[in-house]
Amino acid sequence: MVIKVFVATSSGSIAIRKKQQEVVGFLEANKIDFKELDIAGDEDNRRWMRENVPGEKKPQNGIPLPPQIFNEEQYCGDFDSFFSAKEENIIYSFLGLAPPPGSKVAKSPEEASSLPNGDVAGEAESAAEGTEKAQESGESEAQREGEEDAGEPPEPQEKEEEEATATEETAEVTEEGAEGEAEEEDADEGEEEPGDGGEDS
């Protein structure tokens, strides 16, 4: 399998020359075997490239510009798709090549989810369980505090509602007690409303 890069060596466009240099330079730096085919000096290369670029990949005028990349007869993409694949670290799959041994290649979602080292996964799970347990114990402490506070003098109404809610979640007996207290407190508030509220000091 040979990667073919179609270039125009005598292109007057600086942008095209830069794109061609970037593709060729990247392939050379990563020791990927490729063949550079000039479309400027070889009419056969130009015709072959234009015929083999898929219709949906051709620009509006129908003439694809270099660089165009193929793996043998299989179209890989133009500079934009090459650049995207390079940024996403999936250049070998873009080129249709098997990654070299020991290279860092983007793993597929299935490979990424199954960790090769079971210990690490276990540690992560146990850490998550520990966090959940800590949260649960924090909730139960809050509920106990709510039960203790229920016998104390009235505090701001929002806090009373929170405590009543926390108490309701525990046992039915405490639930009934909290509701009874809440009703009494509502009744007390109802009595305080007609006054001037001087008692709040």
**Exposed e or buried b per residue across 143-158, where buried means at least 16 C-beta atoms within 10 angstroms of its C-beta:** beebbebbeeeeeeee
- For residues 90-99, give the mean pLDDT: 94
Q: How confident is the model at residue 188 (pLDDT cuts 50, 70, 90)?
A: low
Hey, which bits of the chain come out as E strands?
3-7, 34-38, 68-71, 74-78
Per-residue pLDDT at 104 exceeds 90 = no
Per-residue pLDDT at 97 exceeds 80 = yes
Q: For residues 64 and 49, give the distance between their C-alpha atoms in angstroms, rounded to a whole number.
A: 8
Look at 167 and 25; give whichever has higher pLDDT: 25
CB 45 within 8 A of CB 38: yes
- For residues 8-37, give the mean pLDDT: 95
pLDDT of res. 147: 53
Sign of CA dihedral 94, 100, 101, 102: negative
Q: What is the DSSP letter of 201?
A: -
pLDDT of res. 103: 60
How much of the chain, in percent, has pLDDT values that exceed 90? Answer: 44
pLDDT of res. 118: 46
pLDDT of res. 151: 53
Hey, which bits of 41-186 come out as E strands?
68-71, 74-78
Look at 51 and 109; give whichever has higher pLDDT: 51
Q: What is the DSSP letter of 194?
A: T
pTM recorded for the entire structure: 0.52
Q: For residues 33 and 20, give the distance between their C-alpha atoms in angstroms, rounded to a whole number.
A: 16
Strand partners, 5: 36, 69
CB 95 within 8 A of CB 69: yes
Q: For residues 135 and 170, give the distance between their C-alpha atoms in angstroms, rounded to a whole number.
A: 16
